[in-house]
Amino acid sequence: MYTGECHCGNVQLKISHLTKTATRCNCSVCRRYAALWGYFTESEVEITVGKSGLESYEHGDRYISFHRCQNCGCMTHYTSTPKAQSDRVAVNYHMFPMAVISSVHVRHFDGADSWKFLDE
């Protein structure tokens, strides 16, 4: 089991395995968050939120809801909205210890323009 958490520990993410790749996206939102996304299904991620709670943000087509700790502000994960009809959850691997995520291959996705991986 791998456990990650926001800076203050209010939000904890637990996953049973690491993905083979992680995605760094350059879309208007992700490049500002500087997140490193690992993709899972809802059943593969356990999310625990403490007393400080979460804040959420949806942009554009509103298929994704980005979640951040209401106390320290770390962008911890995103979930698919009901509109997306998906059970995808993306965890921000930057919430996990560097030693844990160092083995994950990072892919660069052009979400700003072509909607293709730049390393293909």
pLDDT band at residue 120 under the 50/70/90 scheme: confident
* pLDDT at residue 119, rounded to an integer: 85
* pLDDT at residue 36, rounded to an integer: 97
Q: Say yes or no: domain 2-101 is CATH 3.30.43.10.
A: no
Measured from the Cβ of residue 11, the count of other Cβ atoms closer than 10 Å reads 27
Residue-wise burial string across 81-109, b where 16 or more C-beta atoms lie within 10 A, e elsewhere = eeeeeeeebbbbbbbbeeeebeebeebeb
pLDDT digits (tens, 9 = 90+) for 4-36: 999 999 999 999 999 999 999 999 999 999 999
pLDDT digits (tens, 9 = 90+) for 50-89: 999 999 999 889 999 999 999 999 999 999 999 999 999 9
